Structure 1
C-alpha cells in the first residue's frame, strides 16, 4: 500500500489502482453490461467495519481468482482476466471516500460503487496505471489535508 499506512488496522478509505490490460466487456450486477477501455482505473471504497483494511485483502483474493463471490460492483471488474490490482492508496481512520472519488473523476460507468451515496461513480479511468496511481495519491493527500 502507498500513501499513509499508519493505523492501517483501523480501517479508513482506500483506492485500488487497477490495470485493465485490454478492452473488456463485463456484466456488473444491476448495472448490466459495460465496456471498459484498456488503461488504468481507480476504484475508491471504505473499510470502516471491524475488519478494517482486510476488505482490500478480499479484493486481492477476487483479483487472484481465489474467491468467486461477487458482492460489490468492483468484484465484477476484479474478477475479469484483463484486470490486475497494481497498487492500493489508503487514508487510515478517515471517512473521505466520496471526497477522494469526487477528486478523481466522474467515471466511465455511472453508479459504479456509488449505489449508497450521491456520487456519480467511484470508478475512474486513466490512460495509464501510472496516471491512475498519481491521481489516487494526490486525491488522498488532498483529502487528508482537508480533514487536518
Structure 2
C-alpha cells in the first residue's frame, strides 16, 4: 500500500491561543487553546497527497480554503503536530465517532450523518492516544 492508495487520516493539531474562526457556511466560532483532531478521508485521486496540502496550509505556504478544516489549519495559532493514517481503509466516520466531541457541530461532516469530524481535548498526549486507538479499533472491525 502506498500513499497514493490513500485511506483515512487524522490531523493532530495544537491551537496555542484562543481563536475566532470563520468556518465557511458554519459561521464564526470561538475555539479555546488546546488540542484538536480532524479526521478525513483521502480515497480519491492522489491518496494521502491531500495530507501534504494540509501541511502546506498549516505552514503558511498556501491560503486557499476549500474545506472546514482549512480554516483551522490556516489559522496562525494552529500547529499541525502529526498525522495518524489507516492506509487503504475507508473508516473516516468510524474513527471520528470514537473520538471526544468537538466544539463545532457539522465540522467536516457535511457529507455524512456524523455530528462532527473535529474532536477536542485539553491535552495533546491524551488526544493522540485516543486517535491511535480509534484508528486501530476502526480497522479491526
Same-fold status (TM-score > 0.5): yes
Q: Does 1:64 align with 2:80?
A: no
Which 5+ residue runs of structure 2 have no aligned equivalent? none
* 8 A contact 2:3–2:49 mirrored in 1: no
Which 5+ residue runs of structure 1 have no aligned equivalent? 1-5
CA-to-aligned-CA distance 1:83-111 (integer Å, 9 cap, x gap): 01001000000100000000002311000
RMSD of Structure 2 on Structure 1 (CA): 0.9
TM value normalised by structure 1: 0.92
TM value normalised by structure 2: 0.97
* 8 A contact 1:40–1:131 mirrored in 2: no
Structure 1 runs (4+) deviating above 2 angstroms are 6-9
2:50 corresponding residue in structure 1: 55
CA positional deviation for 1:44: 0.1
Task: Supply the distance in 2 between the matched residues of 1:84 and 1:129 (Cα, whole angstroms).
Answer: 12
CA positional deviation for 1:77: 0.3
Tell me how many residue pairs correspond in the alignment.
141
Q: Does 1:100 align with 2:95?
A: yes
Task: Supply the distance in 1 between the matched residues of 2:45 and 2:73 (Cα, whole angstroms).
Answer: 23
Task: Supply the distance in 1 between the matched residues of 2:26 and 2:3 (Cα, whole angstroms).
Answer: 31
